[in-house]
Amino acid sequence: MKKEIKRMVKCDVCKNMIEIDQYGNGECQNCGWLQSEESYQHPNIPGIRNIPSLNNAIKQYNNGESATLANFNDFIETYNNYGEVEFTLNNIRYGILYDDVTNKIELLNIKTNEKQLFNSIDDFILNAQINGMLLKDIWGNVTNTDFLQDT
Ligand SMILES: [Zn+2]
C-alpha cells in the first residue's frame, strides 16, 4: 500500500492547524470547514466543498457564528451552480432539487416526502413556505446546510 502523505496547514477560516492529504483536502476539527484549494482561489463563490463562500465563512466565524452554515444567498447560489442541496429546519431535512419531468424546482420534506413545486428559483425564493412562514424569513432558524445527501 502506498503511504499517504499528510501535512499540517492552517485552516483558511479559523487558522486552527489541520491535517490535509496530498490533494489539499482536510476537515477542520475546530470550525468544521472543509479545506479546499479551489475555494481559497475563489473566496466569493459558494458551494465549493462547503456551501458558504470562504469569505462569508470567515465573516460568520469572526462573528461567533457557524462557519459551515450557509446564509440564504449562498445557499441559493449553490443550488443555481451545482443543483441539489439540503437544509435542516426544526430537525427536519428538506431537499431542493430539479424535477426533469415537470421542469419544476421541488422542495422536498425528506421525512414525509411532501413536495412543493416552483416554476423557477425566483419563485422559490419569493414563495417557498414551511408551516405557513416564508422560508427566506425563517432562514435564521436553519441548523444545517449541505449538498443533498442520500434521501
Ligand atoms: Zn477552522
pLDDT tens for each residue of 84-96: 999 999 999 999 9
pLDDT tens sequence across 12-45: 999 999 999 988 889 999 999 999 999 999 999 9
Residue 150 DSSP label = -
pLDDT tens sequence across 100-124: 999 999 999 999 999 999 999 999 9
C-alpha 109 – ligand 1 centre gap (Å): 31
pLDDT band at 3 (very low <50, low <70, confident <90, very high): low
pLDDT of residue 151: 66
C-alpha 85 – ligand 1 centre gap (Å): 22
Q: Is the pTM of this model over 0.95?
A: no
C-alpha 12 – ligand 1 centre gap (Å): 7
Phi, psi of 148 (to 5 degrees): -60, 120
Are residues 52 and 71 in contact, defined by beta-carbon separation less than 8 angstroms? yes
Burial 12-39 (b: 16+ CB within 10 A, else e): bbbeeebebeeeeebbbeebbbbbbeeb
C-alpha 110 – ligand 1 centre gap (Å): 30
Question: Amino acid identity of 141?
Answer: N
Instruction: Decide if pLDDT at 141 tops 90.
Output: yes
pLDDT band at 2 (very low <50, low <70, confident <90, very high): low
pLDDT band at 150 (very low <50, low <70, confident <90, very high): confident
C-alpha 149 – ligand 1 centre gap (Å): 23
C-alpha 46 – ligand 1 centre gap (Å): 17
pLDDT tens sequence across 42-73: 999 999 999 999 999 999 999 999 999 999 99
